[in-house]
Structure 1
C-alpha cells in the first residue's frame, strides 16, 4: 500500500463503516486509477468529493437524506444574497468619505473591502458559464479574503469593512459552498443578473451622494437583506411543505445562522448611540449576539437532524 492509497483510505472514514466495507475498495480503486502517476496526496477536489460523499451517506443512514436537497437550496439562496450584498458594497466602496470627515480612506476606494467584495462577485461569473466547481473555488477564495482582511487591515493600519458586514457574508459563503454540481440555466443566470440589478439599484438610490462610509445606511442595507432572505425562506418552506416537500424546512434551518447574523442589529439594538456608525448597537452586545446566534443556529440544525434520524428509526419495521 503506497502513501496515496493510505491517504485515500483515511478520507474514506467520512463514510459509514458498513458502506466502507461494502464499497470502500471500489471507491479508492477508482480514485487511484484516475490519479496522476507519482502523486502522493489526494487533490483538493478529490478530498472534498470524498468528504461530501461521506456526509451524504451518513445522512442517508440516519434517515435525514432530505437534508441534502434542502442544504443545496439554501446554498443557492445564500449565494444570491451574498452576491447582491457584494454588488451593493462594491458600488458604495467607490465613494470614499470626504477628507473633512476625518475618516481614513484608501485612495479611490473607501476600504480594503473593495477587493473582498469584487472577489464575492466571481462565483456568479463562474456560474454564468456553467461551472459549479469553479464557483465553489471562487467562494473559497472569497472566504479566505474575508477572513484575511481583518488582520491585514490591523497590521497595515488601513481601513476595512466593519465586522457586521463581514460576518454574515462569511456565513452566507460557508452555506454557498454546498452548491449542487448542476443548476438550471435560469438559476445560473440569476446570479450575475442579481449582481447587476443590485449594483444598478444602489447607483440609482445613492446617485446624489458623492461620498460614503459604513454607517447607518449600511445597517439598513444589511437589515433589509436579512428580512428579505427570511421572508423568501419562510415562503419557500411553507409552499414546499404544502406539497409534502421538506426541502424548504431544511433550507430554513440551514440559513438560520446567516439570517441571524444579517439581523444582528435588530436583535441587540436598544436605542444606544454608537457615534462612529450612527445608531449602532455596542460592540460587546454585537459580539455576544453573534456568538449566541451562531451557536443556536448550529444547535437547531443538529437537533433537527437528530430528531429526523430518531423518527426514521421508529418507522423501520423490526
Structure 2
C-alpha cells in the first residue's frame, strides 16, 4: 500500500521543477507518507490539487530566475503560440503544398529549443512565401486570403526572432508539447483544409487555458513577461477582425471578451505589485 501511495506522490511532484524535486522531493514524499493514515492507497483530492498548484507556482517562480531581462523572455514566450496560430492560418497552403507544413515544423523546432538565430532564416522564408502576390494562403474554410492580416502574423514572428537573435541571450527551452501541437495541426491539415465548429471550440478552449495559466503565473510572480506574451498573441488574433470587420454575435463577444479580460489581468497584476512597493 505504501509503495503505491509513494508512486502517486512522486507522480504529483513532477509538477515541480527538476531542481526542486532533487533538493526536496525525498523529504517531502517522506513527510506526506508519514502524515497519511494506514491503508490509504491514493492521495486525497485536496492534497493532490495543492501539490500540483504548488508545483506550477514553483515553476512560475523558476521561470523568472536568470540573467535575461523580463521582456526578452516575454518575446520568446509569445513565439510558440504565434507560430502555431500561423500554422492554423496556413491550412490551405499546407493542404495543397506539404512542404510548407515542413517549414512550419522546422520553424517551431529551434524556437522550442531556444535557438533564435537558427529559427530566423526559416521565419523569413515563411513570411516571404505568404507575402507574394500569388500566395494561396488561406484561413477558415480554405478561402484564399490576399490581405495583410495573415502575413502580418508571419512577419511578427520574424521580427521577434530578429530582436532575440541580435540580443544573443541564452533562451530557455519551451515545452515539447508545442511540437506535439504543431504535429497535430499539420496532420489534420494534410487530411482536410476545412475547419468547423468543433475545431473553433477546441481552439477557444486551448487559448483560454493558456491565458488562464498566464494569469496564474503572473499572480504568483507579479512579473510582466506573461503580459507581454499574452498581449502580442491577442494583437495577432484580432488583426483579421480589423481587416474583415463583421457584426459579432453573443458567442463572438463572449469569446473575444474572455481573451481580452484574461490578457488585461496579466497586464494589471504586475502593476499592482509596483504600486504596493
The TM tier, using the shorter chain, reads 0.3 to 0.5
> TM-score by structure 1 length?
0.40
